[in-house]
Amino acid sequence: MKVIIIEDEKPSARRLQRMLANLQIEAKTMLHSVEESIAWFSENPHPDLIFLDIQLSDGLSFEIFEALEINSAVIFTTAYDDYALQAFKLNSIDYLLKPIDEEDLAKAVEKYKTRVPMQKSVVIDFDEIRKMLVNPLDRTYKKRFSIKVGQHLKLIAADDIECFYSENKGTYAHTSDGRNYLLDVSLEQLEPDLEPKVFFRVSRKFFVNVDAIKDMISYTNSRIQIKLKTFNEQDIIVARERVKDFREWLE
């Protein structure tokens, strides 16, 4: 099975490549832009399966399919919300919500093998998907969050949040003044609103702000422990499978 990855965030592409390798699937080719992808598809045999991010550095990945007739099955990789995901689900083999989970990836690959044993392509209605997306090219990230405190709403600047974390089925924002605020969303729902250059999901339980990192310490099993400026409620440990991407993000 020939597989390629189209993803503009190179750390994410490399992480997906490693996860596929664990499933004995080799994805030698990784493309990072619309222009690069169109050039590659024009000169190479088309793969059996494409892992496709929606928004690339120079436009929407749909433009690749509009420029060329591509005979490949598609699994979307996306950070869009549940409403938009309904379109992805109807127009592809499957979709994977970032950050991609290894179990979800394995299920998507198995679905491909089961659903497309003899054919290479599926019909994708990109116009329908576009209708489900709200200004994807103008996507911005939250600069502030409104948080309910008693009967009041408090505005907190994103820059003042050291980390977001989950505890006892709740999601919290920890601010630079040492306070914790309960949010009414999950970490998964929160992720599309966070600027990826500022916040990184180091584990299932934590997003950390790069500007709040005070110290980083080698930890067991090749992991990294993070110390923030004021947060001390829990140990923050970078999950082993995310250490490489975390190091690249820091740079």
Residue 83 has pLDDT above 70, yes or no: no
Burial of 102-121, coded b for 16+ CB within 10 Å and e otherwise, reads eeebeebbeebeeebeeeee
State the pairing for strand pair 206-209/55-56: unpaired
High-pLDDT (> 90) share of the chain, %: 48
CATH fold, domain 3-136, is Rossmann fold (3.40.50)
Residue 249 has pLDDT above 80, yes or no: yes
* pLDDT at position 136: 45
pLDDT tens, position by position, 210-244: 999 999 999 988 899 999 999 998 999 998 888 98
Q: Give 89's pLDDT tier (boundaries 50, 70, 90).
A: low
Return the CATH superfamily for domain 144-250: LytTr DNA-binding domain (2.40.50.1020)
Place of tokens 């250490």: 243
pLDDT tens, position by position, 48-74: 999 998 888 888 888 888 888 888 888
* pLDDT at position 180: 95
* pLDDT at position 122: 52
* pLDDT at position 9: 87
pTM over 0.85: no
Q: What distance in Å separates the CA atoms of residue 215 and residue 180, rounded to the nearest whole number?
A: 21
* pLDDT at position 115: 75
Q: Which residue has the higher pLDDT, 89 or 13?
A: 13
pLDDT tens, position by position, 13-40: 999 999 999 999 999 999 999 999 999 9
Q: What distance in Å separates the CA atoms of residue 196 and residue 99, rounded to the nearest whole number?
A: 12
Write down the domain spans for the chain. 3-136, 144-250
Q: Which residue has the higher pLDDT, 193 or 225?
A: 225
